Amino acid sequence: MNKVIMVVIDGLQYNVAATQMGFINHLVERNEAAFYKVKSELPSMSRPLYEVLLTGTPASVNGITSNDSIRLSTQKSLFHLTKENGLRNAATAFYWVSELYNRTPFDKVEDRQQVNEDKAIQYGTFYFDDFYPDSHLLLDAEVLRRKHDPHFLYIHTMGVDNAGHIYGSDSKQYRKTAINMDRYLAELIPIWMKEGYHIVVTADHGMNTDGEHGGTGSDERDVPLFMISERVKPGCYEQVIPQLAITPLICKLLQIAPSEAMLDYDFSDMIR
């Protein structure tokens, strides 16, 4: 089945994912998932990296260079590509994703719930508070999945990033939020696996001990990539994946052609 669920856990460090997320690492230990390290693009800021993860293009090409780049994307995203290929898509995400691909500026009343098959994001639920609960967001996504049966479902949570900004990455609150996120995923991933989805879990950027990100440090740039799929070779790998490779990876799992702007990456060691 060429259906993908992509979960982006905003602000999740690689090391915290490796040590605190017990369920998803259990799947790695049981040879049911693959685990890689990803080196994020620069700047290691949210809006630029949403664009990286969804279009596979760097800031120097797409022009989304900071969180203040408030405009529609000029690049072909995974939403555009799925729509062009006759596939359905849906998203539950922070409102900046809607501003990148559907409409700018975001209107809290008109744009929170979106159903429009003519838009790049066809079915969407968008939040605008950093403290919107991850548990609610994941259920928002599951409602869209069951109602609209998308081929590509994009889920973007903010709880880990919010805890990191408030308490810093070396805090019990940051680690606890990652543990909770793993707990919420533990309820849904078995359902998604049973129904045959390709599941990709990653992050846009990490977090430093000051509660910030945007720079070049490994705590800000090193993020996890978990993949659960019959087509993915399971195991824990030391190979570092460039973040620009994730979008063409999703295209490969969806069995659609990537855009011409995307990285030409050899996935033969990762995918059957």
Residue ranges of the domains in the chain?
4-254
Q: Is the pLDDT of residue 158 over 90?
A: yes
- Identify the pLDDT of residue 180: 98
pLDDT digits (tens, 9 = 90+) for 185-220: 999 999 999 999 999 999 999 999 999 999 999 999
- Identify the pLDDT of residue 272: 86
User: DSSP state, 244?
Assistant: G
Q: Give residue 184's identity as a one-letter amino acid code.
A: Y
Residues of the chain with pLDDT > 70: what percent?
Answer: 100
Dihedral pair phi/psi, residue 196, rounded to 5°: 85, 20
CA distances 262 to 6, 27, 37, 120, 229, Å, are 18, 30, 20, 18, 22
Q: Cα dihedral sign for 261, 69, 202, 86?
A: negative
**Nearest alpha carbon to residue 41 among 64, 24, 17:** 64
- Identify the pLDDT of residue 64: 98
pLDDT digits (tens, 9 = 90+) for 51-94: 999 999 999 999 999 999 999 999 999 999 999 999 999 999 99
Q: In terms of pTM, does the model score above 0.85?
A: yes
pLDDT digits (tens, 9 = 90+) for 128-150: 999 999 999 999 999 999 999 99
For 187-221, give the secondary structure using H, E and C. HHHHHHHHCCCEEEEECCCCCCCCCCCCCCCHHHH
| Mean of per-residue pLDDT scores for the chain | 97
Please report which confidence band the pLDDT of residue 173 belongs to, taking 50, 70 and 90 as the band edges.
Answer: very high
- Identify the pLDDT of residue 49: 98
Q: Is the pLDDT of residue 125 over 90?
A: yes
CATH topology of domain 4-254: Alkaline Phosphatase, subunit A (3.40.720)
Q: Is the pLDDT of residue 1 over 80?
A: no
Question: Mean pLDDT over residues 20-37, rounded?
Answer: 98
